[in-house]
Structure 1
Amino acid sequence: MVAMMPPVCDFDWPAPDFALPGTDGATHTLSGVAGENGTLIMFVCNHCPFVLAILDRIIRDARDMQKLGIGVAAICSNDAVIYPADSFENMKRMAEDHDFPFPYLHDEDQSVARAYDAACTPDFFGFNASMGLQYRGRLDASRAQAGPEDLRRDLYEAMKQVAETGNGPQDQIASMGCSIKWAAG
């Protein structure tokens, strides 16, 4: 396991569009998952210990953000040939087992991860209602193990600010996780 950190937020960077199959059987687009007050696109996967450590918090925060009018979607871009745990069938199982309140999308050719310049899992991209990037930070101070329950909810607080003002916080702490598992060649 090699821990990676994405770059800091490039404010107002425009969200790349996508059309990806979801574990729910539907094809989802950026405009289809967008919320009235903002949108969170997160790159996750099934096997990463950083994601698994905070999965319950991701789900909790997604539900709370949706109440604020923020659309949420998760994307798995890992190469399932090398990491079979991240196959589409296993994605379907994970979404069902954990009752994901958001679409879980499969980026099989990894084009969406490349368009977003996703670096790790988890990698959070928080956009305002105009689809300008306002947050690219961590969920909270957890790492490969979940931190205490009372940690500051960095992602949620940032996206609440985005929903209310259209702008994310100037000070952000990068997420940390496993590198995206790129296909060979």
Structure 2
Amino acid sequence: MATIPPVCDFGWRAPDFRLPATDGKTYGFGDVAGENGTLIMFICNHCPYVMAVLDRILRDAEDLQELGIGVAAISSNDAEAYPQDGFDEMKKLGLPFPYLYDEDQSVARVFDAVCTPDFFGFDATGGLQYRGRLDASRKEAGPPDLRRDLYEAMRQVAETGKGPQDQVPSMGCSIKWKESA
């Protein structure tokens, strides 16, 4: 079932974290932050919404990095219930930016992430300016000429420090939470 995150809470401060990445390093928010802003995205390996647009995520991440936007992805799914989302499987994806593993799901909870993909776009000072969709794609990629909502919003953040007032939420698979003991 598709899940939709809440609208952007403008100015909400990015929490710090320390998570292991598929490149063998450990990162915090400050390590991935860019001079003009930061994009943190919650994704996973098995989500059909993510896999349908992974090429677009990679394209936009590369273009945003050229604008001084730092980029990182976090996987928080329960890897016991969904082994394809485990750390070793994450490494196989070979993303060109830090892909972080939130094994205890604490970072997803602090961010209040609800789905994959779930995009959090921060300004240069770490204030939230975008919590919207990549583009109008859903479980299948839309046509190649779709408006690049995420890219355009983060370009605006890089240029002005402010995200767009009108944002369309992302839609995707729910985060696969571990059962509480």
Q: TM-score, normalised by structure 1?
A: 0.97
Q: CA offsets per residue over residues 82-140 of structure 1, 9 Å max, x none?
A: 00000000000112xxxx22100000000000000000000000000010000000000
Q: CA deviation at 1:46?
A: 0.1
Alignment match, 1:124: 119
Alignment match, 2:104: 109
Question: How many residues of Structure 1 are paired with residues of Structure 2 in the alignment?
Answer: 180
Q: Which runs of 5+ in 1 are unaligned?
A: none
Alignment match, 2:42: 43
CA distance in 2, matches of 1:131, 1:94: 28
CA distance in 1, matches of 2:119, 2:128: 10
**Secondary structure in structure 1 of the residue aligned to 2:81:** coil
Residues 1:140 and 2:135 aligned together: yes
CA distance in 1, matches of 2:143, 2:114: 26
The correspondence of residues 23-172 of structure 1 with structure 2, limited to 5 A, is: 23-95=22-94, 100-172=95-167
Q: CA deviation at 1:159?
A: 0.1
Q: Look up the equivalent residue of 2:121 and give its one-letter code.
A: G
CA distance in 2, matches of 1:7, 1:102: 26
CA distance in 2, matches of 1:84, 1:133: 32
Q: Which runs of 5+ in 2 are unaligned?
A: none
Residues 1:5 and 2:34 aligned together: no
**Secondary structure in structure 1 of the residue aligned to 2:19:** strand
CA distance in 2, matches of 1:73, 1:26: 13
Q: Look up the equivalent residue of 2:117 and give its one-letter code.
A: P
**Secondary structure in structure 1 of the residue aligned to 2:156:** helix
CA distance in 2, matches of 1:129, 1:101: 22
Q: Look up the equivalent residue of 2:20 and give its one-letter code.
A: P
Q: Look up the equivalent residue of 1:71 and give its one-letter code.
A: G
Q: CA deviation at 1:145?
A: 0.1
- Percent of aligned positions that are identical: 73
Q: Look up the equivalent residue of 1:62 and give its one-letter code.
A: A
Q: Which runs of 4+ in 1 moved over 6 A?
A: none
CA distance in 1, matches of 2:80, 2:30: 30
**Secondary structure in structure 2 of the residue aligned to 1:52:** helix
Q: Look up the equivalent residue of 1:66 and give its one-letter code.
A: Q
Q: CA deviation at 1:49?
A: 0.2
CA distance in 1, matches of 2:34, 2:88: 27
Q: Look up the equivalent residue of 1:138 and give its one-letter code.
A: R
CA distance in 1, matches of 2:97, 2:7: 25
